[in-house]
Chain A
């Protein structure tokens, strides 16, 4: 007969050898990972979407034996897209013993939480916010490509597709951090690209009526409009531009790509709509991991969420990659459910601080700013299939990335 000690020893031996039976992962306490997402309120469509990706990743990690004999356990906090609530949620996750926090979603929340991550020595990874320059290494990293690389890359392809565009209008949410920063970047990139900005329309996150903005934009007679605001805010503006008879291209930054509602509600107004992103629902023969993820994620959201179908996978590969990145770090650092929280956090921070690239579903290059880089492309709305598609064929896409400094 085996006694308990012998059983644990043989379990560890099997785990180390790579032949990890699933049942053995339950012998140790779970490793707690926190997440801050908007699960209710105006941003819930985003939160529910990313939560499905996080849970899929955690299920996959646990199904493969967990991490060093411990399962991953997700502690979920709902911040309702409110920065103040993000801070409270972050502090709660810290006191609840999470080794790392994933999220929050928006630039406003991320730039509030990131400094606190350093102050409290609690690692955090953001996988969505688009405002540049707000990550705070070594504890607070972002693996998503911020707008300072995404917008130049997207605008370059937009100009390639629309060489006759010379005059643009810029519209955006001046209240939300990512929206306001996107407006500034659009203006900067337009100037660098030789585009003239003939009108600027600023609004607020809770603006309900966009008729006056649309009248102003139409009156300036631009060749195209660049818009920087979240999906729920951008949608009525795009629809109002259609009503006002504005029949020219509209480029929205990645804030509308990530999410489930915009593409489903845009209707006929979507015929001239473009955004910036790095994936679609189309299979990628060169990346079987991605193709497999798309199939499984779509299936998962059909059965576990009430999100509008067909779902757009958009950037949900990033929360999935984040969980696997964290699991890899923990495995290599020898972290399991018995590791004291402070020690585990320090080990994770050290690994994150040395991270230069990560190859998951996406290939992520880490920048000296603590942000990730993934090459972005111009996407076009297909109002019929309710899907985002690449606007340019592979041979015409620009492969040169925007200028950035990678970690040395």
Chain B
């Protein structure tokens, strides 16, 4: 497999960085090489932020930001009002949105899953924010980017609350690919 590059769009405090980390960890548990890195600006809570994940069969030597992603993951669709999330997208790139309905993303294959709804149903809420970064791993597993076993393993390494696993499983079931 050539290097697979993911760009995650969220807002500061929504767990985009942790989502990136979980995805990288799951990929490593699949036996691949992976790195996750946030773009750190001077942003504060609530500002649009991006995180990146690179997955490869070989050690990763690239440190520059991802310019041509294979997958765009939008944890908070409201950032699309202010950020062109499709910027630099590879022609064969895909989109995963947090939401109940897919929308038209300039013709790019787009999937949607209601991560917020899943988090609320599982009562995965911290400081008023629904936790999106554990259910999203289930969706990414359904898309074949990681295995569901590794997704669960990664979540268990970082969180002890089993509701995170249930949420990931739910997202796996709910996402239609």
A and B part of one assembly = no
